[in-house]
Amino acid sequence: MANATEFAEFFVEPEVRAGLKTTEAEDLQRPEKFGFNELPCVEVSKMWLLLTQFMGTMPYMLEVAAIVAVAAQDYIDFAILCAMLLCNGALGFREELECMESLVRFTLLSVFFSFILQRHIITYEP
């Protein structure tokens, strides 16, 4: 692995290369004051995910067109528009589920460590 100076020159912005002062570093090590360094896990229900597929510009246009088709007593167009709306919702729901699953897999694969730059010395914190 490269030494601390090479690492700092490559990865760290010039104004940050000096690192933290001792008082700042000690102050940042208080989780009770700042909390833990973690991202909140947001859970979205599958029912809400399905319902959101029918909200937006394109689904609204299809819904309005379906209402107009029923008002004009054109039931074939109504059936086609409803089929389009359901296919659009199903495909969008499937894509959103795949996205959520890949995000969970990515989060589980991420490495939890950090490099700390303090007084021109880089240390590794697991």
Count of residues in the chain: 126
Give the Å distances, CA to CA, from 109 to 37, 42, 96, 103, 124: 17, 18, 20, 10, 19
pLDDT for position 25: 61
d(CA 20, CA 117): 7
Our count of domains for the chain comes to 1
* Domain with 115 in it: 44-126
pLDDT tens-digit map of 11-41? 656 555 556 566 666 665 556 666 666 666 7
Q: Quick check: is 14 in a domain?
A: no
Does some domain include residue 118?
yes
Residue 1 lies in a domain: no
Tokens of 83: 């089929």
- Measured CA angle at 12 (ends 9, 18), to 5 deg: 85
Does residue 22 form part of some domain? no
Q: Measured in whole angstroms, how far is the alpha carbon of residue 40 from the centre of its chain?
A: 11
Which pTM value belongs to this model?
A: 0.57
